[in-house]
Amino acid sequence: MAQGATWLAKHGGADGIWGKATQKAFADFNCRFYNWPTEKQLDRFYGKPDLSTKTHPNITYITPAYPMYLAWQPSTKLNRIAVHEKCADSLEWILHDILDFYGLDRIKHYGLDQFGGTLNVRNKRGGNTLSTHAYGAAIDLDPVRNQLKWGKDKSYIARHCPDLEHIFGAYGWGSLGFKYGYDFMHFEAVKL
């Protein structure tokens, strides 16, 4: 607390407004408490997906904090989302934070209600190692306007929702888009 007070005094104090600086500070502070695995540690941390049944033994379901729809069938509303039990609480909080930060109208406008998937037991696109989706440790948002290979110049999230990096980051979730410059729809509970 003393360090925080010193930092506030040095930087002009608190203005009482939850903005980009506060969100970044919150993310930097809180992500220390989430000790997600690296890609090499996925099997040990999350357990192995069942390739024969195309599922994972440690999956649970969460109810989204706001209405979400299948991106490939927008008239289908989701009642629940499959996610690894170790990620469930953090993803619930992330979706609540997205709702709090953007509000329902902006969520719809930015396509953050367009669900592209969580659990999908498969290899990475074009690769021979399992995707983090195979563990239920990833979520894709608005895949139509944020396609896999699109960079910052084309991705809707990169151009209009850069705060998502900090919202997910507050819970230790990484963004492939903001880290590597492609796949801006994809957020995962993995150390990048």
Where exactly are the structural domains of the chain?
A: 34-188
Sign of CA dihedral 12, 14, 15, 17: positive
Q: What is the CATH number of domain 34-188?
A: 3.30.1380
Tens of pLDDT along the chain (192 residues) come to 555 556 556 656 667 776 666 665 665 565 556 789 999 999 999 999 998 999 999 999 999 999 999 999 999 999 999 999 999 999 999 999 999 999 999 999 999 999 999 999 998 888 788 999 999 999 999 999 999 899 999 999 999 999 999 999 989 999 989 999 999 999 999 998
SS3 62: strand
pLDDT at 128: 85
The number of beta carbons lying within 10 Å of the beta carbon of residue 158 is 21
pLDDT at 125: 82
Give 106: exposed, middle or buried? Use CB within 10 Å, 0-12, 13-18, 19+: middle
Cα separation, 151 vs 43, in Å, equals 30
Token pair for 111: 């396509």
